[in-house]
Each structure stands twice: as C-alpha cells, then as structure tokens.
Amino acid sequence: MTRRYRISHRTTYSYDDDVTDSLGIAYLVPRQLPWQQVLAHDLVLTPATPDRTDDLDYYGNTTTYFQVVEPHRVLDILATSEVEVTGEEHSEEALATPWELARPAARPDVGDAWRAQDLALASPLAEQTAEAHAYVAESLTPGRPVGEAVVEVMRRVHRDFRYDKTATTVTTTVPDIFAKRAGVCQDFAHLMLAGLRSHGLAARYVSGYLATTPPPGKERIVGADATHAWLAVWLPGDGWLAVDPTNDQLVNDRYVTVAWGRDYGDVPPVKGVIFTEAKTSTLRVEVDVAPVGDAG
C-alpha cells in the first residue's frame, strides 16, 4: 500500500516591536527515501527575502538558511509538501540478530557500521545516564533478538511514562523525564535513545509527521495536527528499525519523515537569532496532514 499526503506546516512569530534582523535555520523539507517520495515542496517566507538557500547537513537532511533584514513584527514561514509513503520492511533474519551483534562497534564486517557508530554516542539531549542504562537493560537479556528487545523497550516506555504536554520543554533532560515519569514524543524518543546507546546500539532521532484519523462520525479539524518524533535503531545490513514509543507501534505508512539526527537539537523545525527591542513575542504553529487517497 502506498499512501499520499498533502502537508501544510505554518510557523508564525509575532513581536511587540520591530525585528530588524532575523537569521534562521529550518528543517521543513521531507526526505527523499526508498520508502518515501517527495512529489512537491514549497516554502514561503513573509516578509520575503532573497537571502535564502537550501543545503544538506551531515545526516543528509535538507536545511534551509535564511535572513530577513526588512523590519517586521510578524515572521510567517509556510512549508507545503506532497509526499507518497510506503511501509518500510525488514528481514526476519535482521530482526533476529542477537542485540549484542547489532552494535556497530562489534560489526566491522558491515559496510555502514562506521557511520552508524556516530549514533551510538551520547548527545546533549540524550545523556547516557545510569538510570537509562538500567531501564533498557531489563529488556536486553543475553542473546535476545534485537527487534524483539527494541519493541519491548518501546512498549515499556509507553506503559511507564505518561503523555503530558505541560510536563516538559524542548530542553528537558533524561533525568527530568525519569523524575516526572511524563513527557511528550521527543522526550520518549530521547529516553530510548539514551538507554539503547548506553548499551552500544546505534539509534537516531527522527522528526516528521503522523497522519491522524478523527474519531468515528467526526470530521478532520484542519490545522490541528502537530509535528511528531520517534526513533530508529540500526539493523546490521538491513537499514533502521523505526519505532514510536508515544503510540506504542512500529512506524508505518502513516508517518512522514522530515529529518533525523542525534536528538531534537539537531533537527528542530525552525531555530534562529533575532535582533529587536521587543519585550514580548508569541509563537503559533499550525500543522495539517491531509490524506490524498491511496496512491496504489
């Protein structure tokens, strides 16, 4: 099954005084992947600026750099895309690999192990704490298949940690997540990243969108979707196993991948620096992931 989605992602910054210079970086272009085809994409900045360029970062994500020097009190960034997604599949043999042999440091015989090793190291928002190590260790019993172990960790995080939008922020640490036993999608991804990496497994943070389905009898609310985050674990010679602890499921054709890196800090939708005398500001984000029928 192939599914097609039309995505609209609007980010609006408002200020109580003029901004005279705004420098930004955006990760808003979905990735072209074997299981994901980007059919169209556009990004509109208001105020418009000629000082804008796209480039690829270390992980192959499309990165948009921009600078707006026209004085403004509102900066609007509208990204639209149309994407086709198919479900990614993995071989039973790869999923059955003992987890100890799925560590890139133990697999010099696998061509991309050297690159995966970077994602087995600690990162600022996925600190490899003793608590994270012990939490994941419960599922990494000797010789256990890596696919089975990773899925169990995902299910335990979903069971043990409460989804709460008010519990954390974008700078929340792994110890904070354990202390509050609550968080949002990026927190649950960071927790799993920290624990799995502390045992030598390579895992990457993935940002994107999840197509939601309204309750029976209810219409879709346009603009009510949100960005989403999950993680993917390296399988020697067979790509990356993507799991979503927030929703307790394997990533499938309802997920649109935008970017990946070590943690949220590598691939936020938008970040930047402004020059202004403004005392207050507001941020509004509207996301819509609309199915465009089944593509095949």
CATH of the domain at 29: 2.60.40.2250
The verdict on 79 and 180 lying in the same domain is: no
- Compute the average pLDDT of residues 111-118: 95
Number of Cβ within 10 Å of residue 260's Cβ equals 24
Res 215: pLDDT: 62
Q: Residues 254, 159: one domain?
A: yes
pLDDT tens figures, 101-112: 999 999 999 999
Q: pTM, whole model, 2 decimals?
A: 0.94
277 and 242 share a domain? Answer: no
Same domain? 133 vs 30: no
| Statement to judge: residues 97 and 13 lie in one domain | no
Locate the DSSP E strands across the chain.
2-26, 36-46, 52-56, 62-68, 72-86, 162-163, 182-183, 203-210, 227-234, 240-244, 249-250, 255-261, 270-276, 281-294
- Distance, in Å, from the CA atom of 225 to the CA atom of 7, rounded to the nearest integer, reads 10
- What does pLDDT average to over the chain? 94
Nearest to 119 by CA among 200, 230, 176: 200
Q: Do residue 101 and residue 187 come from a single domain? A: yes
Q: What is the pLDDT of residue 127?
A: 96
The pLDDT value given to residue 223 = 46
- Give yes or no: residues 170 and 36 share one domain: no
Average pLDDT over residues 265-278: 96
Indicate which CATH number applies to the domain containing 109: 3.10.620.30
Same domain? For 9 and 132 the reply is: no
Residues 254 and 276 in one domain: no
Q: Are strands 182-183 and 162-163 parallel, antiparallel or unpaired?
A: parallel
**Range from 205-209, 215-219, 236-240, 271-275 carrying the lowest mean pLDDT:** 215-219
Range of the domain at 24: 2-85+268-294
Q: Are residues 100 and 164 in the same domain?
A: yes
- Tell me how far apart the alpha carbons of residues 275 and 69 are, in angstroms, rounded to a whole number: 10
Among residues 56, 32, 55, 54, the alpha carbon closest in space to that of 45 is found at 54
pLDDT of 168 reads: 86
Average pLDDT for 81-92: 94
Average confidence (pLDDT) over 213-219 = 65
Total of domains in the chain: 2
The count of other CB atoms within 10 Å of the CB of residue 257 is: 23
| Same domain for 79 and 17 | yes
The answer on pLDDT for 185 being more than 90 is yes
One domain for residues 103 and 203: yes
Q: Mean of the pLDDT values across residues 146-165?
A: 97
Q: Give pLDDT, residue 280.
A: 96
